[in-house]
């Protein structure tokens, strides 16, 4: 037997029989180089190491390990990490042939296998591990700075970490509503969904674009490539949700009607989850337009019935009319509550020259800027001298598909997100981005918002992780008061509205007539807060916050006992107790009708003036304006007052201000609740 160096004993058959070791080795390749840089498994430098698990009282483990290592002619390298009873033994020769290593290995294995203190042992081998990073062979991927910005780290959509966790949009279908999608191109074909596609311009199932010298119908294909371009096919680029399915609805290559838009918004809405729409009204700064009656109905129907009841997701571009001072508030697609409105920032995070701003902006993501900035690299058509790849996609048309792709990633990890959940997650996760052009305001919910950037920059990592743990928000609830047509011109200013009380169902102010009784209907717009829409003529603000006591019914119609009138000439006015008494009688009937119960006359109101009387005194020289009380409904009302001939009613001191009208509305609510 060989003589082992470094104090190792001579081996004999008797010694092997005496040791009788049962051995068990712990696999810890990552620990080996930390224990001894010179130590490695045989596959590298011919060194031998074993992990051994020992069974002994805790206080004896260290001693047993030292004894066993010496007996085996090995060096005890210490405990493996924090694992009690697990040790690493190493053979450290000056140099031996491979044949000698085999003999040593057999001897040590036999010794460990027969030892009573050894649970198990394992010889350490080199392991092959790779980092969880993605490498694409698509030639233009290194230029897709919006996906992975090597030049300016952090100024991208932060999506690579999501991909590394195998979140690629799998199981989600995005449809591009545009001028068609060339689905036969190499970057699109493997992910193409014919089931979700249609051509509304030609009325057939194939959305293939038709070449056009003037319009160049490649817009939809570029947007589709941003979303779902196939990776690792040695062609062009990678899509943000490259595991998703992509469909196309061709509708912009020809005459467009309201009915066609409506069909497009709901086409295959149980197959298509997300509708990407990079278009809208003209961006000329003078067009106010949006979906018409059918289009509006289709958007609403989509969020109610689409995607198996969770609601279709409509992503729209905010528009490119910034150079024309256009504003996306004029765009009915952008300011619809059913859409996700996406704006653009350039690679520096700044608002580009073409970007529009508006209150309805939900968020922004990256796109091209001026000619010195990089644009979006994406798939292109190969028709009409196209190459199948472009480096010049820009505008908010390029931003909206990126957002649609990020939403597809969200829906993969949480398919049950509703359309409202998607909007809420965007608001909660968007990153506030400092830009000298942006003005940020903090709303009452504590969120920062700007008309330039919405709630901030979309971040795929934050969106996906928030979606995983998101609790669904309640269904949308809205209450709209009845619309009562008054049949008169809209005043220029709120100050031109006046209020008078008339017992003959009209206000005889300068010969004009107005409604004697209107209804205000409260509407719930957020948890814990309700609002009452006051029944005032157009020109006054329509919504005022109205605190409603806990436990009260939120749907009771409020009798708004108001006559709205306007005086343009001289007025005769109301001045006698006779007219005031008649007014009270009318209001009592109105209250009874609105509340559904009889309202007592003034005889049931002790301490208040009799029907037709006023308290306190009427305004006059040296006396402040007073306000009487209508006993019938316990409401503060305007006292009957005489307007001197030739004096305009609007200047009369007894007329209520907007503040007075609001006080009256509070009284109306109290009356509606009853005792």
For every residue of 45-89, DSSP letters joined together read HS-EEEEEEE-S-GGGHHHHHHHHHHHHT-EEEEE-TT-TTEEEE
| CA-atom Rg of the chain in angstroms | 39
CA distance 363 to 353: 17
Burial class (CB in 10 A: 0-12, 13-18, 19+), 660: middle
Is 258 strand, coil or helix?
Answer: helix
Q: Are the CB atoms for 221 and 180 separated by under 8 Å?
A: yes
What DSSP element (H or E) covers 391?
Answer: strand 389-393
CA distance 89 to 113: 15
Any long-range contacts for 254-263 (C-beta under 8 Å, 24+ apart)? 254/201, 258/291, 258/292, 258/293, 258/294, 258/295, 259/294, 260/200, 261/291, 261/292, 261/294, 261/295, 261/298, 262/294, 262/295, 262/297, 262/298, 263/200, 263/298
Burial class (CB in 10 A: 0-12, 13-18, 19+), 367: buried
Q: Are the CB atoms for 268 and 256 separated by under 8 Å?
A: no
Q: Are the CB atoms for 668 and 522 separated by under 8 Å?
A: no
CA distance 101 to 33: 20
Q: Which of 86, 115, 218, 219 is catalytic?
A: 219
Rounded to 10 degrees, what is the CA torsion of 426, 431, 434, 436? -10
Contacts of 71 (CB under 8 A, 6+ apart): 9, 19, 111
Beta carbons within 10 angstroms of residue 390's beta carbon: 21
178 has catalytic annotation: yes
CA distance 149 to 667: 61
Sheet strands (E) in 115-226: 118-123, 173-178, 198-199
Beta strands across the sheet bearing 173-178: 198-199, 245-250, 173-178, 274-277, 313-317, 339-345, 363-366
76: left (phi over 0), alpha (psi -120 to 50) or beta: beta
Contacts of 372 (CB under 8 A, 6+ apart): none
**10-residue block means of pLDDT along the chain (675 residues)?**
34 37 34 36 61 94 94 93 94 69 89 93 89 84 94 92 96 97 95 98 95 82 97 96 98 95 98 97 94 97 96 97 94 97 94 94 94 91 83 94 98 97 98 85 94 96 97 88 72 42 38 35 34 33 34 34 29 36 53 50 40 36 37 35 35 40 46 45
Peptide bond into 673 cis (omega under 30): no
Contacts of 321 (CB under 8 A, 6+ apart): 282, 283, 284, 285, 327, 354, 356
Query: Half-sphere exposure (CA, 13 Å, Cβ side) for 90?
Result: 25
CA distance 617 to 187: 84
Give the right CATH number for 13-123 from 2.60.120, 3.30.67, 3.30.70, 3.40.50.
Answer: 3.30.70
Dmax over Cα atoms in the chain, in whole Å?
135
Report how far apart, in Å, the C-alpha atoms of 336 and of each of 341, 540, 670 are.
9, 23, 35
CA distance 366 to 376: 8
Contacts of 635 (CB under 8 A, 6+ apart): 561, 629, 664, 667, 668, 671
CA distance 457 to 363: 6
Phi, psi angle pair for 549, to nearest 5°: -60, 150
Q: Are the CB atoms for 178 and 197 separated by under 8 Å?
A: no
**31-51 b/e with 16+ CB inside 10 Å = b?**
bbeebbeebbbbeeebbbbbb
Contacts of 229 (CB under 8 A, 6+ apart): 138, 187, 188, 236, 237, 238, 239, 242, 378, 379
Report how far apart, in Å, the C-alpha atoms of 155 and of each of 223, 347, 355, 436 are.
21, 7, 18, 17
Q: Which of 193, 244, 360, 397 is catalytic?
A: 397
397 has catalytic annotation: yes
CA distance 359 to 95: 77
Q: Which of 178, 179, 346, 380 is catalytic?
A: 178
DSSP character for 38? Answer: T
pTM to 2 decimal places = 0.61
CA distance 354 to 551: 51
Domain boundaries, the chain: 13-123, 141-469, 494-673
CA distance 176 to 561: 52
At 674 the pLDDT is 47
Q: Are the CB atoms for 124 and 41 separated by under 8 Å?
A: yes
At 4 the pLDDT is 36
DSSP-assigned states of every residue in 292-327? -HHHHHHHHHHHHHTGGGT--EEEEE--S-GGGT-B
Any long-range contacts for 369-373 (C-beta under 8 Å, 24+ apart)? 369/394, 370/346, 373/346, 373/347, 373/348
Q: Are the CB atoms for 199 and 189 separated by under 8 Å?
A: no
Please list the alpha-helical segments (H only) found in 490-630: 577-595
At 537 the pLDDT is 33
At 592 the pLDDT is 53
CATH class belonging to 141-469: alpha beta
Q: Which residues partner with 524 through β-bridges?
A: 530
């Amino acid at each position: 037997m060989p003589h082992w160096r470094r104090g190792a004993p001579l081996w004999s058959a008797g010694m092997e029989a005496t040791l009788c070791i049962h051995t068990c080795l712990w696999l810890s390749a990552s620990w080996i180089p930390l224990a001894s840089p010179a130590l490695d498994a045989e596959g590298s430098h011919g060194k031998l190491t074993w992990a051994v698990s020992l069974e002994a009282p805790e206080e004896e483990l260290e001693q047993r390990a030292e004894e066993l290592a010496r007996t085996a002619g090995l060096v005890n390298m210490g405990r493996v990490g924090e694992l009690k009873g697990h040790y690493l033994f190493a053979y450290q020769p000056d140099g031996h042939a491979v044949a000698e290593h085999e003999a040593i290995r057999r001897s040590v294995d036999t010794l460990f296998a027969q030892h009573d203190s050894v649970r198990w042992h394992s010889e350490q081998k080199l392991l092959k591990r790779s980092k969880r990073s993605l490498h694409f062979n698509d030639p233009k991927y290194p230029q897709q700075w919006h996906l992975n910005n090597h030049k300016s780290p952090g100024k991208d959509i932060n999506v690579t970490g999501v991909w590394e966790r195998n979140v690629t949009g799998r199981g989600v279908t995005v449809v591009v509503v545009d001028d068609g999608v060339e689905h036969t191109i190499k970057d699109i074909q493997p992910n193409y969904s014919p089931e979700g596609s249609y051509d509304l311009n030609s009325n057939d199932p194939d959305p293939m674009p038709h070449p056009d010298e003037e319009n160049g119908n490649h817009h939809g294909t570029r947007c589709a490539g941003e979303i779902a371009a196939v990776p690792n096919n040695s062609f062009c680029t990678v899509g943000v949700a490259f595991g998703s399915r992509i469909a196309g609805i061709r509708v912009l290559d020809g005459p467009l009607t309201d009915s066609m838009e409506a069909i497009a918004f709901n086409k295959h809405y149980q197959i298509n989850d997300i509708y990407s729409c990079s278009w809208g009204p003209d961006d000329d700064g003078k067009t106010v337009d949006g979906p018409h009656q059918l289009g509006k109905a289709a958007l609403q129907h989509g969020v109610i019935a689409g995607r198996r009841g969770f609601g279709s997701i409509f992503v729209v571009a905010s528009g490119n009319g910034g150079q024309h001072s256009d504003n996306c508030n004029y765009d009915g697609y952008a300011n619809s509550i059913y859409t996700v409105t996406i704006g653009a920032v350039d690679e520096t995070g700044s608002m580009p020259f073409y970007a529009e701003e508006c209150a309805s902006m939900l968020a922004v993501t990256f796109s091209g800027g001026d000619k010195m900035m990089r644009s979006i690299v994406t798939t292109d058509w190969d028709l009409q001298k196209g190459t199948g790849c472009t480096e010049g996609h820009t505008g908010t048309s390029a931003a909206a598909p990126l957002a649609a792709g990020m939403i597809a990633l969200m829906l993969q990890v949480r398919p049950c997100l509703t359309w409202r959940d998607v909007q809420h997650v965007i608001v909660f996760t968007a990153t506030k981005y400092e830009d000298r052009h942006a003005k940020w305001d903090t709303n009452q919910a504590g969120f920062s918002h700007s008309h330039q950037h919405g709630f901030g920059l979309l971040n795929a990592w934050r969106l996906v992780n928030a979606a995983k743990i998101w609790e669904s928000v309640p269904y949308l609830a809205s209450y709209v008061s009845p619309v009562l047509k008054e049949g008169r011109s809209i005043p220029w200013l709120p100050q031109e509205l006046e209020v008078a009380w008339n017992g003959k169902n009209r206000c005889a102010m300068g010969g004009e007539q107005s409604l004697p009784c209107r209804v205000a209907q409260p509407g719930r717009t957020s948890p814990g807060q309700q609002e009452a829409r006051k029944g005032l003529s157009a020109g006054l603000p329509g919504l005022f916050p109205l605190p409603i006591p806990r436990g009260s019914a939120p749907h009771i119609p409020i009798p708004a006992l108001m006559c709205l009138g306007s005086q343009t000439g001289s007025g005769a006015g109301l001045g006698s107790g006779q007219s005031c008494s008649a007014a009270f009688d009318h209001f009592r009937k109105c209250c009874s009708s609105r509340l559904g119960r009889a309202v007592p006359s003034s005889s049931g109101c002790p301490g208040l003036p009799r029907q037709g009387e006023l308290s306190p005194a009427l305004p006059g020289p040296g006396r402040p304006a007073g306000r009487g009380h209508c006993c019938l409904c316990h409401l503060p009302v305007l006292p009957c007052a005489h307007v001197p001939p030739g004096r305009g009613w609007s200047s009369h001191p007894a007329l209520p201000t907007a503040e007075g009208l609001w006080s009256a509305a509070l009284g109306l609510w109290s009356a509606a609740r009853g005792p």
